[in-house]
Structure 1
């Protein structure tokens, strides 16, 4: 029997072998369709090393190589992509009105497999339906599924939902049933946080050192992403921007606090300004108001008040967090566009004087409604593409390794 020291040495040697492979896979993930030559150049690999690493990854069903289209007489090269029999992750997006279940390969591009509206006010029924969808994906792909990652429109702390007022599900909700019978990791994250990560890695903020993502759906959410990682606090519950006390202190939020900013910017605020009852579906109400605003003066005024409140609060976030770029998701960009002068004036007035000459650009999200799914897939792949993750995959396919 091998000694503990020998076994530890063998593990270290095996992990060292994965470092170059992981770097290659990360380049493929960052830029699907990248050429092998470009990967070698970026990583400082010799042609021989790049060939050896990609051959090993191909043999382990981790990537595939196809000849790149070329023009001219240069030496042909190959482009890298996920292997058709390689690892997969399941990404789930639980939104206020519905849910989606998608599958992603190592390139991180989610493909929706199933989607369905919630059974109103019945979290158990919705969770059961999602669990069945996850089970069907797992049954179809077997042990190729390496992780399940959930983006949920709720407050997430220590990997669990602690408050789900946006969904109308009350407080804590147990999502462990989604993978109860599956031997795969379950990851849970806030939907806005994960969408922000996706925008920073491959969306509108790609390449930014510090990106502020802010979205309006039912309320306001978001995250600060630094070097591709969300700054989400000690327990993961950071980024609840909508619950900053930027709003009317006379208003009590469903979260329990007073004066929450989100009550002044989303569909509930527009309804209140118009004298309408609180909408059952604030997002849908907000969308309809934005459509009506160009032709109805009262709606245009209500939308303008919401845009002004949004711009002022956003200035506070910029002052506090100092981002390179601000990305607007969900209804945030349409709200800005519908009342751009009022939004910009409030944003500018709220900025510290030294920032006004060169404020960070404010841009629309690039991934749209798929942002949270992209982020959930990225979160799962962060777990899969590790030395331990690749060791486990290789052991199942090559037991002698």
Structure 2
């Protein structure tokens, strides 16, 4: 199931070769997965002589992952099948500043979706734009939600007998998982992913698995003290790297008031700069300062973690393109000599804005395709055999 998630277009013959299975063993395995309503298959297009083979698809009655995205400016609801194919069910701006009201609205939508899908939704995954630990969200800075929130509330509209397992991940961490599974850092033994939005989140990935820390809150790189110590962050600390890179930094360097939505502000400003619109001198100077802070901070993380590759997402690619020389100079200058000889490549993410949802899908698929979860699923399938 992991192979089919990461290579959904693989043929049965190729899958058998990759897994070291004989033709008969592959046929038996696929037949059992079909009886379990996990896989479907159809004939592959002929590519030459030899026996015909088949390609796979998720079974139309198979298990699903329900994904809740809690972003800076709104929330969304998506479904994923076993191959990580996403369907958007809802996408709404926040219509209330109170987190309890927002969570109640989202919980109602979750309950309605689970009710309509019956037993097919086997896992609920939340992708949150803030630090997480277990099922708790530490803060959502863009909304000024600074209190600890238990996201178990999102399951309260689901009858207890239908309630699927709940997993919660930081959006940048999940985007890094997506890049490691099917994106730019696939195959890297040690990779670093960074996502710029309102602040900087990220993750170190070891053989594709996120190093999440003792309590699941690892990767909060934006709160490393890489910025001016006179700047106070909403996290309660001073000098956080977030404040030197995101829309708040751009506004400060331009002499603008702090934006209500730093992500939207930075997106508009950098897009206008690329198009040659607006106050180009002020914006270019601001972009160069932020890009240099971004590149220098990445160098510090390379010195600490020695990754093979760094992927950047969110506003990161746009910020680097706005001032590439400033970024590169700061990146190379910040590297230890041992890394400067052959610096790790910094590449744009493949999955872009879909990264967090796709990473959440992969996390959920891992959960629902575990042996224990599959045994429970088999009990629900009448013709499992």
Deviations 1:15-40 (A, max 9, x none): xxxxxxxxxx2211111121111111
| RMSD over equivalenced CA pairs, Å | 1.3
In the alignment, which residue of structure 2 is the partner of 1:88? 64
| 1:399 to partner: Cα distance | 8.8
Match of 2:349 among 365, 369, 373: 365
1:8 corresponding residue in structure 2:
none
User: Could you tell me how far apart the structure 2 residues matched to 1:235 and 1:28 are?
Assistant: 30
1:173 counterpart (134, 142, 149): 149
The residue correspondences of 1:268-287 to structure 2 (distance < 5 A) are: 268-287=248-267
Choose the corresponding residue for 2:225, options 242, 245, 250: 245
Could you report, residue by residue, the CA deviation over 1:147-192 in whole angstroms, capped at 9, with x for unpaired residues? 1000001110133112332332222112212112242111111111
Equivalent residue in structure 1 for 2:186, among 186, 202, 206? 206
8 Å Cα contact 1:221-1:239 kept in structure 2: yes
Greater displacement, 234-243 / 129-138: 129-138
Structure 1 runs of 4+ aligned residues shifted over 2 Å read: 162-167, 291-295, 398-401
Answer yes or no: is 1:236 the counterpart of 2:212: no
**How much does 1:220 deviate?**
0.5
Q: Secondary structure at the match of 1:336?
A: helix
Q: Does structure 1 residue 388 correspond to structure 2 residue 361?
A: no
Give the C-alpha shift of residue 400 in structure 1: 8.4
Count of aligned pairs between the two proteins: 377
Equivalent of 2:84 in 93, 100, 108: 108
Q: Is the 8 A contact 1:250 1:258 kept in 2?
A: yes
**Where does the alignment leave 5 or more consecutive residues of structure 2 unmatched?**
none
Conserved? CA contact 2:269–2:283, under 8 Å: yes
TM-score relative to the length of structure 2:
0.95
2:265 partner SS: helix
Q: Give the whole-Å Cα distance in 1 for the aligned partners of 2:213 and 2:143.
A: 23
Aligned to 2:283: 299
The Cα shift of 1:398 comes to 4.3
Aligned residues of 1:87 and 1:145 also touching (Cα < 8 A)? yes
Q: Equivalent of 1:37, from 6, 10, 13?
A: 13
Is the contact between residue 95 and residue 167 of structure 1 (CA under 8 Å) also seen in structure 2? no
Match in the other structure for 1:195: 175
In the other structure, the counterpart of 2:294 is: 310
Matched, 1:72 2:48: yes
Provide the residue aligned with 1:19 in structure 2: none
Select the residue among 242, 251, 254 that pairs with 1:262. Answer: 242
CA-CA distance at 1:136 after TM superposition: 2.6
